[in-house]
């Protein structure tokens, strides 16, 4: 059985969202093993500590010590975007690549989002989550991150304005993977306002029932 290790308040959100889109239900179609980030615990190796990314038993499954981690019939993946590409390809349908060219495009955009967007977007996300966006240091962090994101966001803006979706003129796993990286910058509304096609696309992605179900589960965690 497909097993997902992790919690909703992590990059596992993107895998849980995709699983909702694919109709893979936790408890029947897949097993969910909660694994928390070790930095959230005072002593991740304490005898009463919950299973976490520093637990020896989890590191035996995923030496990278990151979540989400997926195990499926002996295959182990510990990169969330790769997990999503695999699950989409395995289950097929409109979310999956229709041919080799679409598969290459989906990999291309996943790598672009991971290397060109996610890190700076996370700087914005963490700063807002900590309520530091208006203090001098936090303001500087947000401004610097926004500066780094304008170029890749302009690339996405032009691409989405032309086709409406990341690949194939339809909603696919590529939209999930990219949207989940862009989401980290969403708290900084002035930046997204500069890119109306990107903003509208992100809002449309997040209006999907599968995203809303994932987000509700995340809020309840």
DSSP assignments along 137-192, one per residue: HHHHHHHHHHHHHHHHHHHHHHHHHHHSSSBTTB--HHHHHHHHHHGGGTT-HHHH
Structure tokens at 199: 């903003």
Structure tokens at 29: 């179609």
Indicate the pairing of strand 69-72 with strand 30-33.
Answer: unpaired
**Token pair 């182990």 in the structure block, residue:** 76
Residue-level pLDDT at 75: 97
**Integer Rg of the chain from CA:** 18
Q: How does pLDDT run along the chain (221 residues), one tens digit per residue?
A: 899 999 999 999 999 999 999 999 998 989 999 999 999 999 999 999 999 999 999 999 999 999 999 999 999 999 999 999 999 999 999 999 999 999 999 999 999 999 999 999 999 999 999 999 999 999 999 999 999 999 999 999 999 999 999 999 999 999 999 999 999 999 999 999 999 999 999 999 999 999 999 999 999 99
Q: Which domains does the chain have, with CATH numbers?
A: 2-92 (3.40.30.10), 100-211 (1.20.1050.10)
Structure tokens at 71: 């195990």
Residue 14 and residue 80 in contact, taking contact as beta carbons nearer than 8 Å: yes
Distance CA 134, CA 213 (A): 32
Q: Which residues are within 8 A (CB) of 29 and not within 5 positions of it... i.e. 6 or more apart?
A: 1, 2, 19, 23
Residue 152 and residue 116 in contact, taking contact as beta carbons nearer than 8 Å: yes
């Amino acid at each position: 059985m497909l097993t997902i290790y992790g919690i909703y308040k992590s990059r596992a959100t993107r895998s849980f969202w995709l699983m909702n889109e694919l109709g893979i239900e936790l408890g029947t179609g897949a097993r969910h093993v909660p694994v928390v980030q070790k930095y959230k615990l005072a002593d991740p190796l304490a005898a009463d500590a919950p299973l976490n990314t520093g637990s020896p038993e989890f590191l035996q499954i995923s030496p990278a010590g990151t979540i989400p981690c997926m195990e499926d019939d002996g295959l182990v993946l510990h990169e969330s975007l790769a997990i999503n590409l695999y699950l989409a390809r395995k289950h097929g349908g409109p979310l999956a690549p229709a041919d080799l060219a679409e598969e290459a495009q989906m990999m291309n955009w996943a790598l672009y989002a991971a290397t060109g967007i996610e890190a700076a977007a996370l700087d914005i996300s963490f700063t807002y989550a900590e309520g530091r966006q208006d203090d001098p240091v936090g303001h500087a962090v947000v401004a610097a991150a926004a500066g780094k994101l304008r170029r890749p966001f302009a690339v996405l803006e032009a691409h989405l304005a032309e086709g409406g979706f990341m690949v194939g003129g339809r909603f696919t796993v590529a939209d999930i993977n990219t949207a989940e990286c862009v989401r980290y910058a969403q708290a900084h509304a002035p930046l997204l306002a500069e890119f109306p096609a990107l903003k509208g696309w992100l809002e449309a992605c997040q209006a999907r029932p599968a995203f809303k179900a994932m987000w509700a589960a995340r809020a309840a965690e």
